[in-house]
Amino acid sequence: MKLRIKFSKTGDIKYTGHLDLMRFFQKLNRRAKLDLKYSQGFNPHQIMAFAQPLGVGVESIGEYVDIEVNSMDMTSAETVERLNSVSIPELKILQVKKLDDSAKNAMASVQGARYKVSFKEGKAPSVDVSALIDEYMAEDAILITKEGKAGEREVDIKPGIYEFKADSDGSFELFLNASSAGNIKPVQVFESLLAMNGEKLKDNALATLRLDTYEADDKGNLVSMGDVGEEF
């Protein structure tokens, strides 16, 4: 039985990394006494797939991890409660749903992520970013340099920027490609926008909150990963 867990990671624990988070969930699932499914072999491990890893320093209220269990004797709501009873307040389980047996796991299916981004105190650039968004989004291609295993390469991130808008409170909302192959980080968008305007993004300038994570439905439309699956 495949389960999708939606959770938030906020506050001080944003300074922990993705590997730390994986270990946290392995232990959380054990403490919650779920009837976990393990891989075969001498050192069995829990079958677990996270959507898109969250960077150190980034908070989220829309994270997903898929796990597998052999059986389940609780309802969705009870499972959420059980998990929260053995978690910490900064890592809150928001929802647990049952996925189709044929469903692809979160890591394979993740396509997009929505972010709320603002400049940290004293880190705003001299130019008004909100006034530059239209011009930026009108570009045919936005090339950035990505460092990969095979060295540096040029990538066009434009097709992966689905939405980019300024909110009235001075923050920005971005909807970006978050697939394994084409993930774009908000910082890459801001860096490239400022570079086009002859400015450099300051170090550690962005406060980033991931709002939700998305996958494609049968028709290719992006839907919240939390809308997939059934309550039980």
Partner 1 sequence: MLALSDDILMRIDKPARYIGHEYNAVIKDKADVDVRFCMCFPDVYEIGMSHLGIQILYDMFNRMDGVWCERTYSPWPDLDKIMREENIPLFALESQEPIKNFDFLGITLQYEMCYTNILQILDLAGIPLTTDERKDGDPIVIGGGPCSYNPEPIADFFDMFYIGEGETRYKELMDLYKRFKKEGKSRDEFLYEAAHIPGMYVPKFYTPYYNEDGTLKDFVPMDESLPKKIVKEIVLDFDKAPYPTKQLVPFMRATQERMVLEIQRGCIRGCRFCQAGQLYRPVREKNIETLKKEAIELMEYTGEEEISLSSLSSSDYQALPELVDFLITECKDRKVNISLPSLRIDAFSLDVMSKVQDIKKSSLTFAPEAGSQRLRNVINKGLTEEVILEGARMAFKGGWTRVKLYFMLGQPFETDEDIEGIGKLSNEIAKVFFETVPKEERVNGKVQIVSSTSFFVPKPFTAFQWAPMCTKEEFLDKAYKTRVGIASQLNQKSIKYNWHEADVTVLEGVFARGDRKLSKAILAAYKKGCIFDAWSEYFSYDTWLETFKECDIDIDFYTTRKREDDELFPWDFLDCGVNKEFLLREWHKAAEGVVSPNCKVQCQGCGAAKFGGGICFEAKNKVQ
The residue among 20 and 167 lying less far from partner 1, judged by its C-beta, is 20
As given in the structure block, the two tokens for residue 49 are: 């797939």
CB of 67 to partner 1, least distance (A): 14
| Minimum gap (Å) between residue 63 Cβ and partner 1 | 15
Smallest distance, partner 1 to C-beta of residue 34, A: 11
Positions that interact with partner 1 (CB under 8 A): 12-13, 15-17, 19-21, 23-24, 26-31, 33, 36, 38, 42-44, 56-57, 86-88, 90, 120, 203-204
State in angstroms the smallest separation of the CB of 124 from partner 1.
15
Distance CA 71, CA 199 (A): 55
Closest CB to partner 1 among 84 and 197?
84
Considering the complex, state which of residue 28 and residue 113 has its C-beta at the smaller distance from partner 1: 28
86/211 with CB nearer partner 1: 86
